[in-house]
Structure 1
């Protein structure tokens, strides 16, 4: 073992990490950036040092000898931000889990503890590396004690190293003279006053001549320059006090032995569990492959290859009780017969199944000549028919293989964990195990590394078996825990009645896809290409040269150096040419409009004209993915491709919808909610005037304009209505007067008046929004009308911008979440009604507040009525839900 010890100033380094690493929060809303930064700095140091011993020292919340002696100086430090304060005990928890010795003692600061340990170790002939951001510690530097000071540069960490020679070179004084240097020049960051008017260079010159503060004062008439001499003469007491404050104690009484500080293994299972909790994914690879593995759990994973054993297992499952409604079960205690299910599937073919029906064993049935795929599916489908309760982690992925419907008693635990906390990035089996079962299990990445799933299946049978069994076993265990938590959060109905049936609706939509006219798509791309070339030519003519328009750096040089445009905003990589900068420049030169249009069209071409073509399947349809667990508000998202992001603001963008066409003999019916979020606001705020306006089917924007601008209704101008519309929708999103001013191109003061008048017009709206913010602060979350929770950790932030963002989220999430729930209910009911009536028409897309139905020409009137009935009846509000249905031979016409 190396005879070197690394000593770390815990408070100093976590403080540096906090300000050096952008804000991070885990899915629990816990701030983690300081912990993450500290661990990275520590690991970098340890990798370089290869030391045999390690200790981290912390200040204690207790008066130190300096506080007692000089309360006016050590008691005036700036308060620690709450986000940093909450991370210190968590860091200590991480360090202890890593086996690292920490030291703190009442009456001593961390640098005194470090000074004492460093001195002891040095006297024993050991090499010491002391890591701190506090330059007071430079007084300890010697040939055996290296002071290492981390600095953040260009987003990374660089470390300055100081032995005796480096201190002398940098500060022109010896390490022992550092306290004298601080005595003269002070240190604002550490509340050391120093002598007024004496800076670092002057202090170094004085010490070069006189060595100490005391000696300089003894020869005060010889001190130069004159200003420094007189200041030292007048403030000698401050110099002595400052020197005392800067002096590190090296003889603290500590119960500390080197044996306790031996370098631990660091990457322990306990540490891994905390890294998982804090979601330090980039650090997972520091752990050995089996650290995260729960070996006792894997002992329960049994592979079955014989038909006889497989039949016994399925017979045992079929003997379980028929499932009751999950909502009823929770109220009686969820402990019930159930089965955790997971298929092993490669390239669309099932290769096995894992089933769990007790905590004792998870069975993996590998498909083979004896236990065939057909046999496995037959047995699983029988279990579903018999109404045995099943739980899974990714149910939608299983639907191609099983005969399940929205009434089947199968529950997706990934979806359940999303309903519990919609802020997470992933809802995999290992996330569920950690977050709800307090079990740490290896993720897919940890089991497979970079090896492809097929290769693992073929060459690492045991690893693959464990992977599938983890899904099944965790799904089995999680059903009871998650259902109970959903019930306690009042969100079980949301999960059972909305989110679970929606899986089947989305699966239907994915299978159906939407037809694309390939020729029309190519023509659209060619049309864009022609216009892009025209714009390129015009832009080059204005610029007087050709350049890469897509390069912000080159574009910035053209605009701000060659064309000398205003509002130049320099960044590290050049001038900013962001959309907001270009918007300010529109009136300066017609080239700006051309550049903005060029950007829009090139994006349209790459994303849609060219991008969509890659997704067209052999049936000439695009089968996109619809995701339930992406957005924090409950909105559905669309990927591969994102059909919800089809541009609608510019005509050329809208025309992309022309390439989407129905099958022969069909038309598109497009049904769109009218102002659903404003209607939800009216209902949830219970504002009488807003409710009445909607009941009278009046133009809400015109009504608002009339009230806000004190104008008779029949005299409201288009401009006033447009401004009122911006206020109406802005209020829903908690818009600030600054943002509204930018949107309407008016001053902040004018926008402030608009908002104030709006709230005077609809007073209950203001009260409702204020209450939402208070609810968010009190509970840590807000809820939709259907009890969808949205955690808002930002509301407890000490950062004003973060808190302001949190307040906007608090105001908007219940409204947007309720609107999302309503459209989901409408989708489920519409899809089911079409199937129940055995109609040929089918639901294809959901885009925000809009449903698109591929409607058979014989069913147009019937489907239009179904759409209206189901969408308007999806929720009962104080105001009517209005739906507009349009028909077309392509999506553009229908919209």
Structure 2
């Protein structure tokens, strides 16, 4: 028996739009509705395997079934702009997939579906109608099934209704369902119904009288009395509602089964559209043989011998040189089993994969180096774990892609292929899922070979495209002089790691436990009872119900006890300070006292990870563990640094930029007063306090200096009067006056920040002193809060990004100086504006000199860069 699937286009698109989190492609097109629609449709088509498929749409805005009800048309809720722009694209996708679209002027989609459903039923076909609108339940029969999808976070669930299922759930037949809707109405469909008659009463009435006409004749018998009276008073409205609820199954739509025959959806046209929409999961359904030739990357092949490789390299070199090209190859080192090196050459469609157990992969890499190849890699820092590479002979496509768009989450081969090569490839997760690489290699070797082959080929192909893109964006020097050399510095830092004294770590943990127990007892005493301090629900009851503290905000799960709420309560009761300290110390214990132990290797050192493609501003980030996030405002937090110690015979030398971001602000703004203050080496916070608060310099109080410091640093981050008032516990008006006085004192700073915002709005991105770009899509948002956030980012990114670039330059130069002088001291840690050197005891003076010279001269500013340097037998003493 043949089968037809008929889909209510706008209904499913609407349901998908609200059920799937917002998605946008690189063009800025919202795609969540389309993506959700396709997932629902493909799930159903996979299940049904139909002979016929069609999708019905309302013409323009939904039309109503009778002109006399036109007044209700205006009450329909307007379609969100983000959804409206997806409708024509959805139709374009369906057309590309060879799926028939049906529309009829003057009729709604459900009229078309009802008519087609009845016609297919008449010729003996089974029918599935897919819609989110329960009005269509009136169409259910023994052969017409209504399928209602529900999109949830866990996936799509579908409710199925034949006529018997409608009766079972609603106690009425499909035809009686029309009368049920006529009584109870439907706000989403602008069916007014009868006031005072809800679903329960409407169901009782239709079960008893079968339709509204009979019910009206027996209105005096209906209970409750209000329903009885309203059925009489609103009888005309009830009749109108029934007409509105009734689907026309005889609308004049052409019935041509041949035009609805279900064909192969995965056409080349559909492929190109899915590429544009960036639907990788759906693209994975396409047969690779159906892809355009330029989209087909060959899987790698196993290398047979070094001689074969050398011959292939020779032929490749001749070909590239004959064309006057730079010899470029791509490599990818696969670190998991089977470990090995993939090499992609321009003259060979199939890259080579050389298993490490059979080949000396370093030797293969050296062959490329010795022949003068520029080698494209994905993530050179990680590749350096297995291969020695020369920074003058490599190009890191991941770093290049990051510089061009630092807002993305990942820069893998599939991301580079999509964004810069116009190709859509399955990701590593798409290929392997949760299966080990070794299992896939053993059981589906071609899939594994595709992965390593694509990784090598994209690394090679990306070199020229990304090099040109970086030149066009004027970030080629930023790449070659800062980011690429930095990757080699970070690799060496990870390799050296930092030593941890286990006994000191245990003692630190014990001290935390002791203080945590003290805090618990203090909290219980003040609360008057014992409770779970870690339970926000229990803590909320204690603070806001038992102790009756202000600012209680009750949510569905109880009172909010967030850090923001507790900070407001600090002055209300001593218990709050104890709770805040308790939270900090329990986090310290779990994250550091307990957490660090798991990262200590056999050499008694922690080899953490440093990342340069994570933050949008260019700052380096740290993980496994995050050593950049150690609390330093409280003494117990700072004491964790005591567990980090140098190797025997070495000491720590710690160098920290003094107020680097404020100095960058002074330079970039050109503000004369700010520049002069730094040139005279004055206390910038005291000077600001003196000028903002109109107080003689020698009479500035510690409180005034502290407030001025908050304003100084707040200005760098685009702080608002509200934010400053929260930081200083003052009124918003006072905070606003502080900021206004600050800008009166340093007028060119205000001009600079305003210029940064206007430039970012015009260009779409901000720039650092070194040309690093940070795109600003927030500035174009229709949401006021998002735009305001974008303006603060536009003010801060050039400053924070320039400071990040400066310390990166310093890191590169410090490492180079240490190596040129053949010193045994080594750079091991970077934390924001701070560098930590593990220095050989006899090299301290030399290391201190190198740090000061390279850090202070990393950039030429109109104000001096100052560095504070300390030494110590542990990180705490050095800091």
TM-score normalized with structure 2 length: 0.86
Partners of 1:81 and 1:493 in 2: CA distance = 44
Q: Does 1:751 align with 2:750?
A: no
Give the SS at the match of 1:643.
Answer: coil
1:492-523 CA-to-partner distances (Å, cap 9, x unmatched) read 22222221111111111112211222221121
Aligned to 2:612: 628
Q: In the TM superposition, what is the alpha-carbon distance from 1:391 to its structure 2 partner?
A: 0.9
Aligned to 2:408: 424
1:402-436 CA-to-partner distances (Å, cap 9, x unmatched) read 44333x12101121111122222222212222222
1:599-638 CA-to-partner distances (Å, cap 9, x unmatched) read 2222212211222222222332221111111222221111
Aligned to 1:23: 22
Partners of 1:50 and 1:562 in 2: CA distance = 62
Q: Does 1:357 align with 2:341?
A: no
Matches within 5 A, 1:244-255: 248-254=247-253
1:34-56 CA-to-partner distances (Å, cap 9, x unmatched) read 33443444456557766554433
Q: Which moved more, 1:73-82 or 1:864-873?
A: 73-82
Q: Which moved more, 1:492-501 or 1:383-392?
A: 383-392
Runs of 5+ unmatched residues, structure 2: none
Q: In the TM superposition, what is the alpha-carbon distance from 1:476 to its structure 2 partner?
A: 1.3
Matches within 5 A, 1:265-414: 297=296, 299=298, 301-316=300-315, 336-346=326-336, 351-358=340-347, 360-366=349-355, 372-373=359-360, 376-406=361-391, 408-414=392-398
Matches within 5 A, 1:519-534: 519-534=503-518
Aligned to 1:438: 422
Q: 2:56, 2:101 within 8 Å by CA — same for their partners in 1?
A: yes
Q: Which moved more, 1:306-315 or 1:754-763?
A: 754-763
Compared with structure 1, are the counterparts of its residues 452 and 134 closer, same or farther at alpha carbon in structure 2 (3 Å cutoff)? closer
Q: In the TM superposition, what is the alpha-carbon distance from 1:458 to its structure 2 partner?
A: 5.7
Q: 2:652, 2:871 within 8 Å by CA — same for their partners in 1?
A: yes
Compared with structure 1, are the counterparts of its residues 195 and 860 closer, same or farther at alpha carbon in structure 2 (3 Å cutoff)? same
Partners of 2:750 and 2:241 in 1: CA distance = 54
Compared with structure 1, are the counterparts of its residues 403 and 71 closer, same or farther at alpha carbon in structure 2 (3 Å cutoff)? same
Give the SS at the match of 2:853.
Answer: helix
Q: Does 1:847 align with 2:831?
A: yes
Q: Does 1:121 align with 2:120?
A: yes
Matches within 5 A, 1:785-800: 785-800=769-784
Q: In the TM superposition, what is the alpha-carbon distance from 1:108 to its structure 2 partner?
A: 4.8
Aligned to 1:131: 130
Matches within 5 A, 1:491-640: 491-541=475-525, 547-556=531-540, 567-587=551-571, 589-640=573-624
Aligned to 1:726: 710
Compared with structure 1, are the counterparts of its residues 847 and 219 closer, same or farther at alpha carbon in structure 2 (3 Å cutoff)? same
Q: 2:280, 2:424 within 8 Å by CA — same for their partners in 1?
A: no
Q: 1:82, 1:797 within 8 Å by CA — same for their partners in 2?
A: no
Q: Which moved more, 1:254-263 or 1:206-215?
A: 206-215
Q: 2:149, 2:156 within 8 Å by CA — same for their partners in 1?
A: yes
1:757-812 CA-to-partner distances (Å, cap 9, x unmatched) read 44454444445444444444554433333332323334444344444433433333
Partners of 1:579 and 1:877 in 2: CA distance = 39
Q: 2:711, 2:739 within 8 Å by CA — same for their partners in 1?
A: yes
Give the SS at the match of 1:430.
Answer: helix
1:53-81 CA-to-partner distances (Å, cap 9, x unmatched) read 44333344479577988776435644433
Partners of 2:651 and 2:542 in 1: CA distance = 49
Q: In the TM superposition, what is the alpha-carbon distance from 1:528 to its structure 2 partner?
A: 1.6
Q: 1:826, 1:871 within 8 Å by CA — same for their partners in 2?
A: yes
Q: Does 1:33 align with 2:32?
A: yes
Q: In the TM superposition, what is the alpha-carbon distance from 1:697 to its structure 2 partner?
A: 3.8
Q: In the TM superposition, what is the alpha-carbon distance from 1:265 to its structure 2 partner?
A: 6.4
Q: Which moved more, 1:776-785 or 1:498-507?
A: 776-785
Matches within 5 A, 1:775-790: 775-790=759-774
Partners of 1:572 and 1:3 in 2: CA distance = 50
Q: In the TM superposition, what is the alpha-carbon distance from 1:685 to its structure 2 partner?
A: 3.8
Aligned to 2:649: 665
How many residues align? The count is: 879
Compared with structure 1, are the counterparts of its residues 75 and 758 closer, same or farther at alpha carbon in structure 2 (3 Å cutoff)? farther
TM-score normalized with structure 1 length: 0.84
Partners of 2:758 and 2:113 in 1: CA distance = 45
Aligned to 2:11: 12
Aligned to 2:663: 679
Q: 1:17, 1:35 within 8 Å by CA — same for their partners in 2?
A: yes
Partners of 1:718 and 1:807 in 2: CA distance = 32
Partners of 1:684 and 1:136 in 2: CA distance = 64
Q: In the TM superposition, what is the alpha-carbon distance from 1:891 to its structure 2 partner?
A: 1.2
Aligned to 1:327: none
Q: Which moved more, 1:232-241 or 1:811-820?
A: 232-241
Partners of 1:130 and 1:244 in 2: CA distance = 21
Q: 1:405, 1:504 within 8 Å by CA — same for their partners in 2?
A: no
1:519-552 CA-to-partner distances (Å, cap 9, x unmatched) read 2112112222222233344445555665544344
Compared with structure 1, are the counterparts of its residues 222 and 573 closer, same or farther at alpha carbon in structure 2 (3 Å cutoff)? closer
Q: 2:301, 2:351 within 8 Å by CA — same for their partners in 1?
A: yes
Q: In the TM superposition, what is the alpha-carbon distance from 1:267 to its structure 2 partner?
A: 7.3
Q: 1:359, 1:477 within 8 Å by CA — same for their partners in 2?
A: no
Matches within 5 A, 1:688-837: 688-837=672-821
Partners of 1:300 and 1:155 in 2: CA distance = 34
Compared with structure 1, are the counterparts of its residues 234 and 453 closer, same or farther at alpha carbon in structure 2 (3 Å cutoff)? closer
Partners of 1:227 and 1:549 in 2: CA distance = 53
Aligned to 1:876: 860
1:412-471 CA-to-partner distances (Å, cap 9, x unmatched) read 112111112222222221222222212233433344443333445566655444433222
Compared with structure 1, are the counterparts of its residues 286 and 754 closer, same or farther at alpha carbon in structure 2 (3 Å cutoff)? farther
Partners of 2:654 and 2:783 in 1: CA distance = 44
Compared with structure 1, are the counterparts of its residues 274 and 537 closer, same or farther at alpha carbon in structure 2 (3 Å cutoff)? farther
Q: In the TM superposition, what is the alpha-carbon distance from 1:715 to its structure 2 partner?
A: 4.0
1:851-886 CA-to-partner distances (Å, cap 9, x unmatched) read 112223333333333223322332333443332222
Give the SS at the match of 1:635.
Answer: coil
Partners of 1:556 and 1:291 in 2: CA distance = 60
Q: In the TM superposition, what is the alpha-carbon distance from 1:179 to its structure 2 partner?
A: 6.6
Partners of 2:319 and 2:830 in 1: CA distance = 39
Q: 1:57, 1:110 within 8 Å by CA — same for their partners in 2?
A: yes
Give the SS at the match of 2:628.
Answer: helix
Matches within 5 A, 1:136-155: 136-142=135-141, 144-150=143-149
Compared with structure 1, are the counterparts of its residues 621 and 303 closer, same or farther at alpha carbon in structure 2 (3 Å cutoff)? same
Q: 1:63, 1:106 within 8 Å by CA — same for their partners in 2?
A: no
1:533-589 CA-to-partner distances (Å, cap 9, x unmatched) read 333444455556655443445545555666666555455555544333433444555
Q: In the TM superposition, what is the alpha-carbon distance from 1:148 to its structure 2 partner?
A: 4.5
Q: Which moved more, 1:111-120 or 1:660-669?
A: 111-120
